[in-house]
Amino acid sequence: MEERSIVIVGGGPAGLTAGIYAARVGLRPLLIERGALGGKVRFTERLENFPGFSMGVEGHRLIAEMEGQARRFGVEFTTADIFEVKPIDEHLEVVGNGLRIRAEAVIVATGTGPRPLGVPGEERLRGKGVSYCALSDASLFRHREVAVVGGGDSAVKEALFLARYADRVYVIHRRDTLRAAQVLQEAAMAEPKITFVWDSVVTEVLGSDWVEGVKVKNLKTGEEDCLEVSGLVVFIGNQPNSGLVGQIVELDPHGFILTNEEMRTSHPRILAAGDVRRKRLRDAVTAVADGALAATVAHGIIRHR
């Protein structure tokens, strides 16, 4: 079994920053990511609120810079899907596909994944017109009509982005007002390709080999209708990727990892950083701060073992 001082699970802004800070104090961190580095930020067209970029910065560019910085300081990377982190003696064992590592400390920076609607047809047509990321799938919807479900910042941003490609974008929201920031609302309202479907929810996704439409129910009138769309993009929130430590650290009722102000969990050798932990604001800036603090605290844990 390979042995490491510290393992970081997750390669978004929190994990990359934790790697940078851990490497700079000589911990020789191993960062494990199951897919492409960057998490949701990689697929964000432009971050307007990340400090230091007066005109904003493309998500993929920001992640590329973070990765380059991490590699320069000596962070080691590997790709694996981690199934479990479990106690072993006074250490931890990180278990994944073809991978077993004994570590003195683990930082969980696995972020969140999209929350599905949970309606008939959704899972069957996932990847066949049902999407959870417009940026990566927008080209599939060129010159088509598509529906976006949600009313927050992410949903409205996705609708605005899709409007560049699709002929028509329906925004389906269960309320009669959006929750998105005012500047996003104004932009969406001014976009002629966007049509709002208020007070409504999707009850079924239709189609055999590809999305052919969605059934929509008005929550105030009870009336049901069918929108003939060729795509459905779901943005109704996220759920934490906390399953790998769910049996050994304390979670809140929604599955987010509970931490103190030092990123410590209920297990003395497991820390959490970024969107996977319970906190008020989830974005790249707070993820970076979480990662820096988690690595600093982990260094103290390892040094005083």
**Pairing outcome for strands 99-108 and 2-9:** parallel
One-letter amino acid of 90: E
Query: Any idea which architecture 123-234 has in CATH?
Result: 3-Layer(bba) Sandwich (3.50)
d(CA 1, CA 31): 17
pLDDT number for residue 126: 93
Q: What are the pLDDT digits (tens) for 80-103? A: 999 999 999 889 999 999 899 999
Q: What are the pLDDT digits (tens) for 176-235? A: 999 999 999 999 999 999 999 999 999 999 999 999 999 999 999 999 999 999 999 999
Q: What are the pLDDT digits (tens) for 106-131? A: 999 999 998 999 999 999 999 999 99
- CATH 3.50.50.60, the chain: domain bounds: 2-114+238-304, 123-234
Which CATH class for the 2-114+238-304 domain? Answer: alpha beta
- Using 50, 70 and 90 to split pLDDT, how confident is the model at 305? low
Q: Which range (19-23, 89-93, 274-278) has the least confidence?
A: 89-93
Six token digits for residue 124: 């069957």
Helices (H), the chain: 13-24, 39-42, 59-73, 134-137, 153-162, 182-190, 284-303
d(CA 53, CA 208): 45
Q: Tell which wins on pLDDT, 156 or 1.
A: 156
d(CA 305, CA 300): 9
pLDDT number for residue 48: 85
Task: Assign 3-class secondary structure to 63-77.
Answer: HHHHHHHHHHHCCEE
Six token digits for residue 43: 């697929």
